[in-house]
Structure 1
């Protein structure tokens, strides 16, 4: 698999995402449903944004770990939240995770009116190999 990062500017580097990712010679593509802070029994978290972000990332990692894909090959990460201000107050969690795992992904952040139940954040990813 070949990945080509397209960044006509440099300002996005500080925000830990890229403008586009071209992928060639792919062996497979994994499309992951939106992951949230739901526990193993299917119960939604009632915790704050920071705690839900951590739990959501753990759930995303769990899905990927069940496959032959790697975190560093996430090429698209969409972030849905019920509160952009709360999300960006805690965005260091996502940025640190992205940096630690050497992820270079195209990304969209979207504030939505409501997510399922008491959830505040949802991560939807595409991974290649």
Structure 2
């Protein structure tokens, strides 16, 4: 598999994100359900701490990728659902740097949601990966 990032304008690169990712030679596509800051039993972790919830949700994405024989570098699309867009944007640079450090070159959509499945869940990450 080979990827090529598409950036007609540079502003998304400030967040370590891209306008597009072209994939050639991929043979498998993995669509992940939204991953949240939950323990193995489904209980919510880090209520009230958006940054910690992002880190746990990202760890859960990586666990699901590993189970599929993939890793963070296989992620080509990441949708981020948050209950507080302003709070997320205040820490977005730090959080997207974490996915960049894992070798992820992705496109991303940020979506504000009034509420997620549990009132204590502040963020949900939905990923598509190609190998």
Fold match by TM threshold 0.5: yes
Paired residues, number: 129
Describe the superposition over 1:60-88 as per-residue Cα deviations: whole angstroms up to 9, x where unpaired: 11111112112112100000000012212
Correspondence 1:31 to 2:34: no
Describe the superposition over 1:7-56 as per-residue Cα deviations: whole angstroms up to 9, x where unpaired: 11122211111111111221101111000011111112324212211111
C-alpha deviation, 1:121, in angstroms:
0.1
What TM-score does the superposition give when structure 2 sets the normalisation length?
Answer: 0.91
CA distance in 2, matches of 1:61, 1:102: 12
Alignment correspondent of 2:12:
12
What TM-score does the superposition give when structure 1 sets the normalisation length?
Answer: 0.92
What does 1:82-121 align with in structure 2 at a 5 Å threshold?
82-117=83-118, 118-121=120-123
Runs of 5+ consecutive residues of structure 2 not aligned to the other structure: none
Match of 1:123 among 119, 122, 125: 125
CA distance in 1, matches of 2:4, 2:122: 33
C-alpha deviation, 1:106, in angstroms:
1.0
